[in-house]
Amino acid sequence: MRYKLLGKSGLRVSELCLGTMTFGETWGWGASKVESKKMFELFAKEGGNFIDTSVNYTDGTAEEFLGDFLKADRDHFVVATKYTLTKSDDTDPNGGGNSRKNMMKSVERSLKHLNTDHIDIYYLHMWDYMTPVEEVIRGLDDLVRQGKVNYVAFSDTPDYIVAEANTRADLMGWSRFIGMQIPYSLLDRAVERSIIPMAKHWDMAVLPWGLLEAGILTGKFLKKVKDSTRINQKELKLREKSMNIVKEVQKISEETGKPMSQVAINWVKQGPNAQMIPILGARSAKQLKDNMGVLDWKLTDEQWQRLDEVSAIDMGFPHGFLEGNRNIFGATHELIDNHRV
């Protein structure tokens, strides 16, 4: 395992992050405490120090398991957790959301679950479209000043909200946001239109989840589309594209002798558009070990490009309108150093 500075910070994290949404069987699926500990110990043995969880994962069980596992060497690990979500049957009107009230209540719950006096990275989990941006960033900055949180970050939030938050933070001298957690894979590249460029602009690390699209990119569902008469042409086209992507992953898997899952993860991990630190989720130590095999090899530039081309999406406006537009620079177009364009 190698280490990276997380976004615009001095925090050193492993090049892979261990996701813990599968820690606990409270939701009717996931891993037992014994299996969860095996995954934690395997990740740590390989040099992993970056762990991701949330106050609501398996109704708090994930944080409780992790708190127990961390007892021996808490300071060695970079622990990230999140606030926003709650139980669907919680009748407290302030039991969820981005408000300062829920933030303060949630951070205390997480500290108790994790059996620690501080959280290394605290995420806003999902934007609620209700809470003022300034309420969020001031509240998070207060947690940093109180020593309960070291760094702050966003997850699953519109790019314009994150951009405003970082602008306000810079202007007010508050804690800026150093990471952006998003769904990203060969089958879901929508975030390339605005969120990834925004993260790169603000020097934020990108922490992608959903790398294998619920196992589709492992090849376990690989088969021809049947009974296409029951779906419309748009759906058929989308299914055909997805199938072509999975088949290309399969080809490269055969070329390299590596599992399809590792091919798909390495495409994300090696992406040139921003700093990528993939979050690995697994239900067993064996599954996690298989996925961590990405540490042992890399896609060639040619293989990465093939996957990039087969999975490419229409970027839409303003990308196509601006990229390569010679009129922006006039007659001096060829004389301008355009390494940043």
Active site residues: 57
Distance (Å, whole) CA 113 – CA 100: 20
Q: Is 48 exposed, middle or buried (0-12, 13-18, 19+ CB in 10 A)?
A: buried
Residue 95: enclosing H or E segment and its boundaries?
none
Residues contacting residue 84 through CB under 8 Å, at least 6 positions apart: 96, 97, 98, 102, 106, 124, 125, 126, 128
58-275-45-295 Cα dihedral, nearest 10 degrees: 110
Whose tokens are 């959903």? That residue is 210
Structure-token pair, residue 161: 């909200």
The number of beta carbons lying within 10 Å of the beta carbon of residue 57 is 26
Q: Which amino acid is at 9?
A: S
Is beta strand 78-83 parallel, antiparallel or unpaired with respect to 3-5?
unpaired
